[in-house]
Amino acid sequence: MQDAKGITRELTFLTRRTGEDELTLLSRALQLGLSTLFTRTAEQSFIDGEISREEAVSILTERRVQEIEYAKQALTQDIARGFNR
């Protein structure tokens, strides 16, 4: 978590570089942050089996769900190979 100085520094940099006012930038930052948290939570919920594949696809896209499924399968196979050694 950043302290107030870090946030102020970043906000000052952004206002100078973009020409946008602080309120607009803070609003965009909140939107981006919430969107990121929403996506990460949906991904983890799918991985944990807390939401269905259908719901995950509606939130994340088919491609992202396929990527997660592939990663889960690869991890499971790696673990199985590790135990068989």
Dump pLDDT digits (tens) for 15-33.
Answer: 999 999 999 999 999 999 9
Residue 60 pLDDT class (50, 70, 90 cuts): very high
Q: What's the whole-number mean pLDDT along residues 61-69?
A: 98
At 4, the amino acid letter reads A
Confidence of residue 51 (pLDDT cuts 50, 70, 90): very high
Closest to 25 in 3D by CA, of 8, 5, 4, 38: 8
Alpha helices in the chain (DSSP H): 4-18, 22-47, 53-60, 62-83
Identify whether the C-beta of residue 39 lies closer than 8 Å to the C-beta of residue 60: yes
The pTM assigned to this predicted structure is 0.78
29-40 b/e (C-beta count within 10 Å ≥ 16 → b) = eeeeeeeeeeee
